[in-house]
Amino acid sequence: MFYSVITAKLDSEGVVFAQVNTDAGSPWFAGHFPGDPILPGIAQLNMVTECIERVLHRKLILQNLARIKFKQLIRPGDVLDIRAVVGKKENNYTFTIKNNDKEVCSGRLVLVPLKEQ
């Protein structure tokens, strides 16, 4: 895994909170980019999806995404705060990833349970 989960929880209002640490030894960093490693966007979206799956205790599949914004670079060893909120539409999650209180990525994911495929 390219990150380790420090904490992951679901609050009483259905908001997912997670804190993760990016693994400097991850192949994502080795290949993207040599000498100037950053975490690719697809890895960031996967990390958010897996954190939501972890607290909901079910396998989810990415069906759609919207308004994804990558605002800052994520480097090896960064500690990230993830927050995801269930939207008004079923299976919609609005999320943010922050590093040191600065937003690095945000957007909306449509994640459906595996059996609905």
DSSP 43-108: HHHHHHHHHHHHHHTS-EEEEEEEEEEE-S---TT-EEEEEEEE-SSTTEEEEEEEETTEEEEEEE
| Catalytic option among 10, 17, 21, 32 | 32
Instruction: Note if 32 is an active site residue.
Output: yes
Catalytic residues: 32
